[in-house]
């Protein structure tokens, strides 16, 4: 059956699933995340001495234009509270992996940038990350499944969360 909606013009209606099935899907998503995250934590700690949250912050800071990311912007990169995130940033700074820069326009605003050492560590950690994602997720899927997963996750992440 084909229906049109503002979000999905002229597409097949998704099958309706009940509350039990929704809970099962959620459990599977969390299980996959927990397994992969646990393996990443083990390998990052063993090989590089960093955590997954530190990797996420380095990745986020490095992906921004130099000196264009504020501490508050990092909330999107990790599930940490603001105080925990501030401590993590202080740790990365103490290890010489990121640096803080004040802005000329407003000295209260602190911008962050990856250092050369931070970029070098990130380069090593991205390879470890890719190896684990491939082994635990990607290689267990067909090419078609991989494409559909990327398309589906891209669509889901691009939609603003519903508010109650």
At 66, which CATH number? 1.10.10.10
The 10 Å Cβ neighbour count of residue 51 is 16
If one counts the domains in the chain, the total is: 1
Least confident of 63-67, 80-84, 136-140, 151-155: 63-67
Q: Is residue 56 over pLDDT 90?
A: yes
pLDDT at 136 over 70: yes
Contact assessment for residue 68 and residue 111, using Cβ atoms and an 8 Å cutoff: yes
pLDDT (0 to 100) of residue 16? 84
Residue 8 counted as domain residue? no
CA distance 108 to 25: 44
Domain assignment present for 42: yes
In a domain, residue 70? The reply is yes
Does the residue 4 lie in any domain?
no
Report yes or no on whether pTM surpasses 0.85. no
Q: Are strands 2-3 and 11-12 parallel, antiparallel or unpaired?
A: antiparallel
For 117, the domain range is: 21-142
């Amino acid at each position: 059956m084909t229906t049109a909606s503002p979000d999905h013009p002229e597409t097949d209606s998704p099958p309706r699933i009940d509350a039990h099935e929704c809970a099962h899907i959620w459990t599977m998503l969390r299980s996959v995340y927990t397994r992969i995250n646990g393996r990443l934590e083990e390998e990052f700690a063993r090989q590089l001495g960093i955590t997954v949250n530190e990797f996420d912050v380095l990745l986020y800071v490095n992906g921004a234009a130099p000196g264009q990311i504020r501490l508050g912007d990092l909330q999107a990169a990790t599930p940490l509270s603001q105080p925990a995130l501030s401590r993590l940033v202080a740790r990365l700074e103490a290890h010489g992996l990121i640096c803080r820069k004040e802005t000329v326009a407003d000295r209260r605003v602190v911008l962050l940038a990856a250092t050369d050492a931070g970029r070098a560590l990130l380069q090593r950690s991205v390879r470890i990350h890719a190896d684990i994602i491939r082994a635990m997720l990607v290689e267990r899927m067909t090419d078609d499944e991989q494409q559909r997963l990327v398309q589906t996750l891209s669509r889901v992440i691009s939609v603003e969360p519903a508010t109650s």
